[in-house]
Amino acid sequence: MKSGAEIEAGASGLSPKIEPGSIKERMVLIGEVQFAENGINGASMREIASKAGQRNHYAVQYHFGSREGLIRAIFDYRMKQMEPRRQAMLRQAEQQNLLLDARALLDIIMLPQLDLEDVDGNHSYASFLSQYLLRSQSTEFGDFGSESPPYLQRALDLLRERLFYLPTAVAQRRLVNGCLMFLNMLVRHRGSGSTDDQEESFEHAVEDTMEMLVTSICMPLRTSRHLR
C-alpha cells in the first residue's frame, strides 16, 4: 500500500482527460443527468448530444466511442473531482492517528460525494452511481469496474486492512451495500439544504447514515451456526 507521499509523487504528473468548458465536459455532465433520470440503458445518446449543442447525433460515439465509454468517462470525471478532498481528509486522519478508524475511512470514501451537485442542486451523480454499482458483479474488495484514483484507492486499502477479519467477498458486498445506502440517502434528499417540509435535516440524515454504515460494514461475520 502506498504512503501519502508516494501517492502525491505519482499523481503530480497527471493531467485531466476532460478540459473544463469543453464539449466533452458538457456531454459528461448532461449524460450524468440523463442517465440519472432515464436509466443507464434508457438514456438516449442522441438526446445527450442534442442537449450538449451538437448537431451530429453520433457526437457521443465520436468523443467517447460508445455508451459504455461515456459511462466510464462520467465515473472517472467525478472520481478525479473528489481526489483533492480525499487527499486532505487522509492527511488529517494521519495527523490524528485515525488511518485505521472505520468511521474516518468511510467518511473519506463517502462524504466527498456531498459536493457533487448538478446545476439544479440535485445529486444526479448519486443516482447514476447507484445504477453503476448495481451492474458490478466483482467480489474483489474496492473493485467497481474502473481503476480507482490514488487517494480513493489508499482509503479503500486502509479500510480493507481494518476489515481483516472478513472474507474478501463479504467485505466487498458490505461495501457496495453501504455505498448504495449512502447514495439512496443523497437521492432522497436531492439537495444539500433542508426544507421546511422535511421532518429530518440533511445533516442529521448524513450523520445517521454514516453511523449505520460503520455498524453494518464492520460487524463481525455471523456463522451459519448462529443464523439457525
Residue ranges per structural domain of the chain: 4-221
Selected residue with higher pLDDT from 190 and 132: 132
**97: pLDDT strictly greater than 80:** yes
- 208 by DSSP, 3-state: which? helix
Q: Which distant-in-sequence residues (6+ apart) come within 8 Å of 91 by Cβ? A: 4
Residue 137 binned pLDDT confidence (cut-offs 50, 70, 90): confident
**4: pLDDT strictly greater than 80:** no
Note the pLDDT tens digit of each residue in 145-194.
Answer: 778 899 999 999 999 999 999 999 999 999 999 999 999 999 887 654 44
The whole-number pLDDT of residue 1 equals: 52
- 186 by DSSP, 3-state: which? helix
Mean per-residue pLDDT, 97-121: 93
CATH topology of domain 4-221: Tetracycline Repressor; domain 2 (1.10.357)
The C-alpha cell that represents 105 in the structure block: 475511512
Note the pLDDT tens digit of each residue in 208-224.
Answer: 999 999 999 999 988 66
The whole-number pLDDT of residue 173 equals: 94
CB distance 128 to 43 below 8 Å = no
